[in-house]
C-alpha cells in the first residue's frame, strides 16, 4: 500500500513538473531554496522560542536535504528530496561544494547540520557565545536577561562593559568553525560519577578542557585529569584559576560584570545578593564573559523555557557546541547509586544542587541524553 502511494505521489509530481516545463513557466530557483532558505532563517539574531516537543517529527531543515550518511530519512523527506534532485541536475551539478565539511575532524563535526533534524532545529550557528567589546544585541533577549536576577544598578550595560574591557582584554578566541580545525573539547561536570572513573587521561587528551564552579583537580587527577583550559564560574561560585586558564564568567546580572572588573582590580565589591570573593586570581588577558544574549538562546531553544534559566552545566555544554568541533561530556548526572553529590565530597548526600529550583534538572538531563543519542556529544556516565 505504502509503495503504491509513493509511486502515485512520484508519478503525479513528475507529471506536474513535465507540464510546468512544457509551459516554460518553471523557475528552477524556486525549486531550489537551499542556501537562500538557510540564510534567511539564520540571519536574524532574534531567537524564536521553540516549543515543539522533542518527539515531534520536525520539517526537514535545510541541512538535511542531501545527507550522505543518513539513510534513515523519513518518507516525507525522501519525496521532497526526489523533487529537489530533479531540479539540481541542471542548476547545481556539484552541489557538494555547498556543504563542505565545516571542520577537519575525520569522523564528525558538531556544526555539520546534516544527520540530525532534532539538532538543527535547535542549533543556531549564528549565535555568538562570547561577549565582545562590540555586540549586536537582540534587545528582547537583553531585556529578558536583565530581569533574571535584579541588582539595583544605576549604570547601563554599556558603561559597565566599557569599564570591564579596560581591565580584561577583548577576547581573541575564534568560535566559528574553520575547515582546517578539529577542536575536541571535554566538558567536565562535578558529579560524583567521576569517582573511580579513571577518565583522567582521556579528559587530559582534549584540546579544550572546561570545568566549572568549585571544581578542583588536586587529589583526583586519575579520575578528572589535571589540565584545565576554561573555568566557568559566577561571583557566588568563584575560585582562583591557575595561570594559563581562561576564567569564563557566566553573568546572571549586571552586577556580575561589575564584580569581575572589581575582583580583578580594586576588590571593592564584596557583596552581590550574598557575600562573595572580593578578589579572584586569573590571567586578565584570558578572561571571557558569556554573552547575555546566549543565555536567552539556551533558555528558548535548548531547555525550552523549563526552569527560570539554564544551569551552569547546561550553559557550558551549549557553549562548547558553539566553540568546538567535537564535544565529550564527563561528570554529569547522578552516580551509579543514584546519589547527587560532587566528586570531591565524601558525604554522598551532600550537593543538593539538583534541587536548586530555578533550573529544571530533569529536562536538562533529557536534552543531554538526546544530544548523545543524536551523536552530537559523547556522554560518559
Ligand atoms: C599533569 O600531570 C602530569 C603528570 O604528573 C604533569 O607532568 C603535568 O605537568 C601536569 N599538568 C598540570 C597542568 O598540572
Q: Are 380 and 197 in contact (CB under 8 A)?
A: yes
In Å, how far are 94, 317, 319 from 298, measured between CA atoms?
36, 10, 9
Residue 320 has pLDDT above 80, yes or no: yes
Give the pLDDT score at 117.
Answer: 97
Range 119-125 average pLDDT: 97
- CB-CB neighbours of 38 under 10 Å: 19
- CB-CB neighbours of 225 under 10 Å: 23
Task: Name the grid cell of 376.
Answer: 552530537
Distance CA 116, CA 376 (A): 9
Condensed to tens digits (0 to 9), the pLDDT of residues 268-308 reads: 999 999 999 999 999 999 999 999 999 999 999 998 888 88
Give the pLDDT score at 258.
Answer: 96
Give the pLDDT score at 179.
Answer: 94
Look at 87-101, 191-205, 347-361 and tell me which has the smallest mean pLDDT: 87-101
DSSP state at residue 289:
E
Pairing of strands 208-212, 230-233: parallel
Pairing of strands 288-289, 246-249: parallel
Residue 62 has pLDDT above 80, yes or no: no
Look at 63-72, 245-254, 262-271, 307-316 and tell me which has the smallest mean pLDDT: 63-72
Give the pLDDT score at 312.
Answer: 94
The residues lining ligand 1, judged by C-beta closer than 6 Å to any ligand atom, are 226-227
Condensed to tens digits (0 to 9), the pLDDT of residues 147-176 reads: 888 776 778 999 999 999 999 999 999 899
- CB-CB neighbours of 47 under 10 Å: 20
Q: Which residue, 257, 178, 174, 240, is CA-closest to 208?
A: 174
pTM for this entry: 0.74
How many Å lie between the centroid of ligand 1 and the Cα of residue 171?
27
Give the pLDDT score at 96.
Answer: 54
How many Å lie between the centroid of ligand 1 and the Cα of residue 227?
7
Residue nearest to atom 1 of ligand 1 (CA): 226
Q: Point out the ligand 1 atom lying closest to the alpha carbon of residue 242.
A: 13
CATH code at 117-336+353-379: 3.90.1480.20
Range 118-122 average pLDDT: 97
Q: Under DSSP, is residue 9 helix (H, G, I), strand (E, B) or coil?
A: helix
The residues, any chain, with a CB within 8 Å of residue 237's CB and separated by 6 or more, are 212, 213, 214, 312
Distance CA 71, CA 83 (A): 17
Task: Name the grid cell of 19.
Answer: 507540464
Q: Which of 209, 221, 226 to mutate to test ligand 1, by most ligand atoms within 8 A of the CB atom?
A: 226
* DSSP-assigned beta bridge partners for residue 380: 330
Q: Are 110 and 321 in contact (CB under 8 A)?
A: yes
How many Å lie between the centroid of ligand 1 and the Cα of residue 226?
6
Give the pLDDT band (50/70/90) at residue 238: very high
The structural domains of the chain, with segments of one domain joined by +, span 117-336+353-379
Residue 78 has pLDDT above 50, yes or no: no
Amino acid at each position: 500500500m505504502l509503495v503504491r502511494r509513493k509511486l502515485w505521489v512520484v508519478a503525479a509530481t513528475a507529471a506536474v513538473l513535465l507540464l510546468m516545463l512544457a509551459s516554460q513557466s518553471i523557475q528552477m530557483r524556486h525549486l531550489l531554496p537551499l542556501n537562500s532558505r538557510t540564510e534567511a532563517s539564520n540571519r536574524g539574531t532574534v531567537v524564536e522560542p521553540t516549543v515543539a516537543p522533542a518527539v515531534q517529527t520536525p520539517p526537514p531543515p535545510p541541512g538535511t536535504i542531501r545527507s550522505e550518511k543518513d539513510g534513515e530519512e523519513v518518507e516525507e523527506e525522501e519525496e521532497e528530496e526526489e523533487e529537489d534532485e530533479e531540479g539540481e541536475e541542471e542548476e547545481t551539478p556539484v552541489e557538494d561544494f555547498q556543504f563542505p565539511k565545516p571542520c577537519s575532524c575525520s569522523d564528525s563535526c558538531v556544526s555539520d547540520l546534516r544527520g540530525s533534524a532534532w539538532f538543527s532545529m535547535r542549533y543556531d550557528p549564528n549565535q555568538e557565545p562570547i561577549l565582545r567589546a562590540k555586540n549586536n544585541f537582540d534587545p528582547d533577549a537583553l531585556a529578558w536577561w536583565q530581569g533574571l536576577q535584579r541588582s539595583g544598578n544605576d549604570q547601563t550595560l554599556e558603561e559597565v562593559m566599557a569599564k570591564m574591557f579596560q581591565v580584561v582584554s577583548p577576547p581573541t578566541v575564534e568560535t566559528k568553525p574553520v575547515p582546517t580545525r578539529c577542536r575536541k573539547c571535554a566538558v567536565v561536570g562535578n558529579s560524583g560519577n567521576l569517582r573511580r572513573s579513571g577518565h583522567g587521561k582521556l579528559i587530559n587528551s582534549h584540546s579544550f578542557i572546561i570545568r566549572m564552579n568549585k571544581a578542583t583537580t588536586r587529589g583526583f587527577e586519575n579520575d578528572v585529569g589535571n589540565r584545565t583550559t576554561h573555568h566557568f564560574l559566577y561571583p557566588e561560585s568563584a575560585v582562583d584559576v591557575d595561570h594559563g586558564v581562561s576564567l569564563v564568567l557566566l553573568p546572571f546580572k549586571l552586577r556580575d560584570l561589575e564584580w569581575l572588573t572589581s575582583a580583578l582590580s580594586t576588590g571593592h565589591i564584596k557583596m552581590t545578593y550574598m557575600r562573595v570573593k572580593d578578589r579572584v586570581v586569573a590571567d586578565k588577558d584570558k578572561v571571557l564573559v558569556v554573552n547575555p544574549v546566549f543565555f536567552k538562546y539556551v533558555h528558548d531553544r535548548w531547555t525550552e523555557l523549563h526552569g527560570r534559566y539554564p544551569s551552569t552545566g547546561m550553559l557550558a555544554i551549549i557553549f562548547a557546541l558553539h566553540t568546538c568541533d567535537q564535544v565529550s561530556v564527563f561528570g554529569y548526572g547522578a552516580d551509579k547509586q543514584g546519589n547527587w553529590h560532587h566528586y570531591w565530597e565524601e558525604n554522598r548526600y551532600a550537593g543538593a544542587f539538583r534541587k536548586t529550583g530555578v533550573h529544571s534538572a530533569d529536562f536538562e538531563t533529557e536534552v543531554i541524553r538526546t544530544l548523545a543519542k543524536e551523536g552530537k556529544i559523547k556522554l560518559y556516565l
